[in-house]
Amino acid sequence: MQSEVQFAGFGGQGVMLMGQILAQAAMHEGHEVVWIPSYGPEMRGGTAYCTVVISDRPIGSPIIRNPQHLVAMNRPSLEKFAPTVKKGGVVFVNASIIPIGSGRSDVDELRVPIMELAKEVGNAKAANIVALAAFVARSRIVSFEALTAAVKDKFAEKAKLIPLNLKALDAGRKAAARD
């Protein structure tokens, strides 16, 4: 079985990091994984997106036109990519800055105010981890244990950030359960 996730937003929102952590979590579980980044012309404030392909067998092509899931961190990304998501997929919407929904009734839309939740756990910069946790909790694309292990691995060199990010994971998981 193969799953594809498109992460998209402004540069500086942690879109690439979300994709890297999801890819690492999938590798923890023994899956085949491809992570493909794409940057806009500016590093901060420009568009950024990445695609993560997870499979239980070798991946034939990493290029995906219609991903199974979308994590939209800003409105332009939601408007551009939501129409391409496969029926039945999860569309995550950053409700902190996106006032609209996907306009789709054939997907599982998850709206979470990630900025507010990140501030509650101690740092607004953890919003991307809140978003990733909520998406994983809803989609079950990887186990939450694998996601937690991947976060610990990613922040191992900055160990003081691990407790904050574990709180962000918990906040995201709880937000997905409430929605």
Transcribe the chain into DSSP letters.
Answer: -EEEEEEEEETTSSHHHHHHHHHHHHHHTT-EEEEEEEE-SSSSSSEEEEEEEEESS--S-S--SS-SEEEE-SHHHHHHHGGGSPTT-EEEEETTT--S----SSSEEEEE-HHHHHHHHT-GGGHHHHHHHHHHHHH-SS-HHHHHHHHHHHTGGGGGGHHHHHHHHHHHHHHHHH-
Domain boundaries, the chain: 2-178
* 138-164: pLDDT as tens digits: 999 999 999 999 999 999 999 999 999
Quick check: 100 pLDDT over 70? yes
Q: What are phi and psi of 96, to 5 degrees?
A: -65, -35
Q: What CATH class does 2-178 carry?
A: alpha beta
Interval 80-109 mean pLDDT: 97
Q: What is the pTM of this model?
A: 0.94
* 38-81: pLDDT as tens digits: 876 655 556 789 999 999 999 988 888 999 999 999 999 999 99
For the chain, give the mean pLDDT. Answer: 94
